[in-house]
Amino acid sequence: MQIIKSVRILIFFLLPIAAFSQSSYIPIGTKDYKLLDRLEIKTGNENLLYSVVKPYNRRLTTKEVELIDSLQLAGDSSFHLTEIDKYNIERYLMNNSEWSKPRESYNSKKTIFNQFYKTKGNFLEIKGKDFFLIVNPMGQYQVMKEKGNSQSLFYNSHGVTVRGLIARKIGFDVSITDNQERDPLYVQQWIASHNAVPGARFYKGFKAPGGVDYFDNRGSVSFNASKYIDLQLGYDRNFIGDGYRSLFLSDFAGNNLFFKINTRIWKFNYQNLFMELIPYGQRSGGNRTLSRKYFRSNYLSFNATKWLNLGFFDAVTFGRKDHFDFQYLIPVLFLRPAESDIGSGDNATLGINGKINIKKKIQLYGQMVLDEFQFRELIKSTGFWANKYGYQIGVKYPDAFGIPNLDLQVESNRVRPFTYSHFDSVTEYSHYNQPLAHPLGANFQEYISILKYQPLKKLYLQAKMIYYYQGLDSAGTNFGSNIFLNYHTRGKNYGYYVGDGNKVKSMNVSLLASYEIFENMFIDANLQHRTYNMAVGGNRNTTVFSFGIRMNMARREFDF
């Protein structure tokens, strides 16, 4: 909790006597993100270009969606929305009713005990003069069958989510789920090798070998310091980027304590993020307090034109014997000079993000992350170990090839050896034995292709292909893929190239069909085939069929 103590002074100075309207945030991975992607590209809405930082603020995004809806109802011909888009907009506004204008279509034809499901999307919705509350059950159950595996595979999650407003000045959200799962063998092997469950923190075994049991608790409180500044204190995940992956900060690792300042004014959106993390190699046994480390980042997003957004990222990962370094507290301070000023060996990272909307039809996006590099060595192309960087290039194409409601996304990610790693096991780019950015760590080339199709209002189809090659460690030699290894364990200084080492090639293909039987309740059927071929060590191929039902939560997936 040291980070909370560290930001109290900052809150004191930023918090005025009166606050403005505040909002909760839309959970990452829900169906709303697909709609907002389409609207950002198809309408050219300049304010939606700030969608790089996630999760999204309900108040701000609902304002833009309602504006787009008003324009299309008024006959605006500058963009074309399909009937499915219009249906999804109505559902989006209904599910964010605290910020949208009421409509008769939101109300249920039948209620339960005249109290529950008064609106189609929410189990309990209470609106008062100074109080707003939504309560919904959460649940997901998948049964899986893996070829050649006699184990009983499943994912079982159940819980509750609550969000609300107090006097429209304080927003809050909380979700709690109890989870048990036994995953396909490749995921079980990942859990065993990392001593972590993807996206979770403390866990314990569950019944037969391969099963795990854990709680997933999330929550935040947010308020406005001024008209332009939002403050949020929470325990959850954050994501920075436009792609399926992020090379800056992803939501792959487990929840963490964070404090966020977001300033939006004129053409700028500026986010300061303070996070408290768990160093590598630790796992709670439930009877001891784990050590801490810290992460501090700035992300400045700038709408250079109506169709071009540029972003600049800097971050530092550090440890100070379980206390925050006040040198990194100032929101407007660039972190790399601050790190140098105090003579630290902290792990500093820089990055550039950009996206271009082309004629409201296609979006190009990309990232470049710089961990370390020496320009002199870079231009020589000698594979110098300290040229640690990665880049992402992607395309989003809604209504692809003229087919309404068919969305295509293609993405390439490449990260050089030793990127994200450090000489100090505390300061490598990780949290609770999991990477903070890309799930693969480093020393890889990845290609992703995703097709999403919504031919009917309630039917969602998806085809996804992920191919990558990566150089793993071989014969005890560190080839730079494992970000948890001290980079001083390398065997040389030159000759490191992407894919060097025990080269593995993997193809992960999945076909998903989801049908929304009630609002935010889905039946899912998924077929996945994954190949994993190592130069040394043989092949590990997987074919899994899963069938499940979920309510008010994103589908559990393992895309690595």
Numbers of helices and strands, H then E, in the chain: 7, 27
DSSP 481: -
Q: What is the largest CA-CA distance in the chain?
A: 74
- Beta bridge pairs of residue 504: 470, 534
Per-residue three-class SS string for 371-435: EECCHHHHHHCCCCCCCEEEEEEEEEECCHHHCCCEEEEEEEEEECCCCCCCCCCCCCCEECCEE
CATH class of the domain at 2-110+117-551: mainly beta
Report the predicted TM-score, pTM, of the whole model to 2 decimal places: 0.93
Tens place of pLDDT per residue across the chain (560 aa): 455 445 444 444 444 434 466 788 999 999 999 999 999 999 999 889 888 999 999 999 999 999 999 999 998 888 899 999 999 999 999 999 999 999 998 998 888 877 899 899 899 999 988 999 999 999 999 999 999 999 999 999 999 999 999 988 899 999 999 999 999 999 999 999 999 999 999 999 999 999 999 999 999 999 888 889 999 999 999 999 999 999 999 999 999 999 999 999 999 999 999 999 999 887 766 667 888 999 999 999 999 999 999 999 999 998 866 667 667 777 766 665 655 555 556 888 999 999 999 999 999 999 999 998 777 777 778 899 999 999 999 999 999 999 999 999 999 999 999 999 999 878 899 999 999 999 999 999 999 999 999 999 999 999 999 999 999 998 889 999 999 999 999 999 999 999 999 999 999 999 999 999 999 999 999 999 999 999 998 899 999 999 999 999 999 999 99
Helix axes 83-95, 32-43, angle to 10 degrees: 120
Determine whether 517 is exposed, middle or buried from the number of CB atoms within 10 Å of its CB (0-12, 13-18, 19+): exposed
Determine whether 140 is exposed, middle or buried from the number of CB atoms within 10 Å of its CB (0-12, 13-18, 19+): buried
**What is the DSSP pairing of strand 229-236 with strand 25-26?**
unpaired
Q: How far apart are CA 217 and CA 64, in angstroms?
A: 30
